[in-house]
């Protein structure tokens, strides 16, 4: 763009902050159970991960995640064993899982009411990655 400013050009810049790839989940419990091995690898690679039991509640169901220094286990929600409930829209959960957005930015825009513990937990589980994602039909 710096070189183009000296010529007559048109520039278009697009962003996924408002749209981009769209994915939907049908079962929060099944989705998180299927990616539990990857979540365990992420947590085990950290020096001091967030630890505890959380319940992630979406409009497509709920799942409990027990996070220890060794890994993550996923089960159905038992309210008596939950340290921290985390309400999320299913779109936010899927975007966190895909890792294409900075989690702090995504949570600030889509779940501004989350507390610091919930944000720390989600950023431990779902750090930003550099996924390759196919663009939608154009």
At residue 75 the predicted structure's pLDDT band, cuts being 50, 70 and 90, is very high
Would you put residue 61 in left (φ > 0), alpha (ψ -120 to 50) or beta? left
pLDDT digits (tens, 9 = 90+) for 105-128: 999 999 999 999 999 899 889 988
Q: CA-to-CA distance for 4 and 19, rounded, in angstroms?
A: 27
Query: Partners of 87 in the beta sheet?
Result: 57
Model pTM score: 0.74
Question: Quick one: pLDDT at residue 6?
Answer: 79
Question: Quick one: pLDDT at residue 73?
Answer: 93
At residue 1 the predicted structure's pLDDT band, cuts being 50, 70 and 90, is low
At residue 76 the predicted structure's pLDDT band, cuts being 50, 70 and 90, is very high
Residues of the chain with pLDDT > 70, as a percent, come to 84
Question: Quick one: pLDDT at residue 132?
Answer: 64
Hunting for tokens 């027990």 — which residue is that?
66
pLDDT digits (tens, 9 = 90+) for 31-60: 999 999 999 998 888 887 788 899 999 998
Domains in the chain (CATH in brackets) are: 24-125 (3.30.1050.10)
Question: Quick one: pLDDT at residue 119?
Answer: 92
pLDDT of 99 strictly over 60:
yes
């Amino acid at each position: 763009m710096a070189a183009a400013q000296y010529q007559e050009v048109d520039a278009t810049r697009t962003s996924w902050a408002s749209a981009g790839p769209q994915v939907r989940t049908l079962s929060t419990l099944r989705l998180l159970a299927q990616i539990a091995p990857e979540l365990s690898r992420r947590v085990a690679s950290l020096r001091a991960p967030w630890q505890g039991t959380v319940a992630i509640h979406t409009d497509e169901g709920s799942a409990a995640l027990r996070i220890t220094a060794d890994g993550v286990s996923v089960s159905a929600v038992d309210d008596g064993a939950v340290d921290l409930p985390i309400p999320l829209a299913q779109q936010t959960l899927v975007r966190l899982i895909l890792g294409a957005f900075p989690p702090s930015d995504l949570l600030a825009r889509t779940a501004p009411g989350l507390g610091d513990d919930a944000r720390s937990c989600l950023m431990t589980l779902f750090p930003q990655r550099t996924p390759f994602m196919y663009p939608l039909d154009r």
